[in-house]
């Protein structure tokens, strides 16, 4: 056993989720989160850049996975087909185990403008990943930007629908359905 309990970051994440859900984001201080995790506030800020980030750590991974799927798409796939592959790849992040956690987390985020802002910028960074991936495939810049934006819009809408859907609906199905809606929309 080390000088301190291991996984301070994990304890901080759990403490934050619990307190945000219980007293709300504004009603929670960083000192309280740190206390519950058994560390000091200074340590909180060594693990997370700010009070919001504790709910979003690791979210880069999702963007990376999607970018990887995009890169792995057949060379002759159209931009939108490649983006579709990327969005479908996101489904693996949200297996049924995470569904309940996702719901609680989404509820907290939805109730606090500051957290909504942070979520939006994560989505924007996802958009950037996809755009870069498309550019690497030789796609025209304007097309790439638009295809990426559209792809993330599909992800966002699908995720929301999935959260609200019954437990036995897999997210991949929701995504496919959203993609269908999109093509009907612009037909």
Partner DNA sequence: CCGGTGATGTCACTGACTGACATCGCCGAT
Partner DNA sequence: ATCGGCGATGTCAGTCAGTGACATCACCGG
Asked if residues 114 and 52 have their Cβ atoms less than 8 Å apart, the reply is yes
Does 121 bind DNA (CB under 7 A)? Our answer is no
Residues 48-87 as x/- pattern, contact with a second copy by CB under 8 A: -------------------------------xx-------
One of 28, 90, 129, 178 touching a second copy (CB under 8 A): 178
Residue that the structure tokens 């295809």 belong to = 147
Q: How far is the CB of 39 from DNA (least distance, A)?
A: 4
Structure token digits, residue 14: 């759990």
Return the residue matching tokens 């057949």.
74
Distance CA 15, CA 131 (A): 35
* Residues 127, 148 contacting (CB under 8 angstroms): yes
Residue tagged 């560390």 (tokens): 39
Q: Does 177 bind DNA (CB under 7 A)?
A: no
Q: Contacts with a second copy in 87-116 (CB under 8 A)?
A: 113, 116
Q: Shortest distance, CB of residue 1 to a second copy, whole angstroms? A: 39
Does 161 participate in binding a second copy (rule CB under 8 A)? Answer: yes
Single residue of 10, 22, 23, 50 touching DNA by CB under 7 A: 50
- Contact at 8 Å (CB) between 133 and 153? no
């Amino acid at each position: 056993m080390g000088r301190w309990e291991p996984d301070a970051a994990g304890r901080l994440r759990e403490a934050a989720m619990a307190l945000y859900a219980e007293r709300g984001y504004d009603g929670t201080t960083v000192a309280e989160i740190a206390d519950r995790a058994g560390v000091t506030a200074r340590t909180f800020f060594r693990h997370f850049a700010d009070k919001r980030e504790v709910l979003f750590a690791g979210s880069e991974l999702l963007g990376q996975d999607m970018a990887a799927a995009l890169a792995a798409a057949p060379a002759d796939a159209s931009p939108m087909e490649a983006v579709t592959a990327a969005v479908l790849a996101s489904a693996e992040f949200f297996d049924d185990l995470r569904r309940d956690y996702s719901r609680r987390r989404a509820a907290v985020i939805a109730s606090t403008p500051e957290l909504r802002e942070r979520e939006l910028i994560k989505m924007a960074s996802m958009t950037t990943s996809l755009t870069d991936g498309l550019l690497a495939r030789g796609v025209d810049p304007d097309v790439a930007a638009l295809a990426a934006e559209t792809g993330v819009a599909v992800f966002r809408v699908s995720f929301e629908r999935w959260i609200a859907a019954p437990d036995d609906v897999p997210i991949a199905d929701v995504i496919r359905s959203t993609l269908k809606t999109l093509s009907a929309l612009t037909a």
